Amino acid sequence: MQKLTERLVSWASLIDDKTVDQARTSSRMPFIYPHLALMPDAHLGLGATVGSVIPTLGAIMPAAVGVDIGCGMIAVKTQFHAPDLDGRDLAELRQQIERAIPLSAGRDNRKIVATAEPRVAELEGLAEQAEFDPATYAGHWRQQLGSLGSGNHFIEISLDENDDVWMFLHSGSRGVGNRIAQHHITVAQRLAKQWWIELPHPDLAYLVEGTPEFTRYIRELRWAQHFALLNREEMMDRVANQLGRFLDTPVEERERINCHHNFTESEMHFGKRVWVSRKGAIMADAGRPGLIPGSMGTASYVVEGKGNPVALNSSPHGAGREYSRSAARKTFTHEQLREAMAGIEYRDTDAFIDEIPQAYKPIDRVMADAADLVTVRHTLRQIVNVKGD
């Protein structure tokens, strides 16, 4: 860990000057307490740095939470082992999963299936308690439950160091969460202009605790976080169903972990109750299970938190980009992607060039930097990868 300023600490050994400057700017906001913590995967983000833990007193910056509210990971350990998959066509399994779950931006379910019905009902009840209608943001939000999205979202079948089979996926609150986030970012920016508040960057606009705008944001934020969690559960149930069909045996869950990495919670740190916004970071309280994926084609990790107080009980959420999407597409080729994905069943298309492992920080370096934040319980190697364009 490196102390960059009195209000900025970093666990990132691979980090560029622009990212440090962005984090330093955020750390100077007057309500940061006690300091902003950069995780090993930190990289440049919108307004606030991705891979940062931002504790605030009496205010929240909606853009510092991110537009994919509640984005995170879920993993399930099954009873299956590598030999159960020997001699089977993994392309068939990939295609079954792709048919069961809508992929890519803007793709939703055509109907609400039986497994989604109770989850939709639960979200309807929570929205009523929060006194808002999600349909004002996305009229088809019910159909979004159980859909993956695009970008770095993925579904994987993996093997751990004991050759046990795991199901692993990454997604968030989809279009409805994005609309909720964008709305409140706009509200915060409008209020800053209304009250003549000078900001170092428009995306550092904030909402003040105790105001109607803050209260509404927290209610809708928590709803979107729960939508994201249930969205992952719904997809995981569908993946389990397809894996069970593929192997002619229902999946038996041996372990399930579901964690956010774009979210805000009220927590106690350094003697004060603060709002902790983790933008690309997971909770890592002592003993808490967590998930840290690598990039497409690399290892992922099942971890246990160490409860590092200086890191505000947090750890990285993944590998962290080194190349922007546009830069990656200019730098790397389809053939390089194929080489990186050798031995892994995936949809071979140049649409995924910007997700090539070389566009990200080496995950083993990130995990080495996180040695005093988490303990590695399992190392997963993917054998099937599903992504949306």
**Residue (of 183, 107, 118, 193) closest to 150 by Cα position:** 107
Token representation of residue 13: 């050994």
Give 273's contacts (C-beta < 8 A, 6+ positions apart): 266, 267
Instruction: Give the whole-angstrom CA distance, residue 176 versus residue 68.
Output: 9
* Partner residues linked to 255 by β-bridges: 77
Distance CA 339, CA 14 (A): 24
Quick check: 19 and 43 in contact, CB under 8 A?
yes
What gap in Å lies between CA 226 and CA 141, rounded to an integer?
A: 13
Pairing, β 314-316 against β 300-305: unpaired
Question: Residue 140 and residue 360: Cα distance in Å, rounded?
Answer: 34
Structure tokens at 6: 């009195």
Distance of CA 180 to the CA centre of its chain: 17
CB 293 within 8 A of CB 261: no
Q: How many angstroms separate the CA atoms of 120 and 342, rounded?
A: 39
Angle CA(60)–CA(63)–CA(66) in degrees, nearest 5?
A: 110
Q: Which among 35, 317, 334, 378 is annotated as catalytic?
A: 317
Specify the long-range contacts of residues 324-332, CB closer than 8 Å, at least 24 apart. Answer: 325/354, 325/359, 326/354, 327/359, 328/353, 328/354, 328/355, 328/356, 328/358, 328/359, 329/353, 329/354, 331/358, 331/359, 332/356, 332/358, 332/359
45 contacts 22 by C-beta, under 8 angstroms: yes
DSSP string covering 80-136, please?
EEGGGGTTS-HHHHHHHHHHHS--STT---SS--TTTHHHHHHHHHHHHHTT--GGG
Give yes or no: 140 in active site: no
- List residues with catalytic annotation: 317
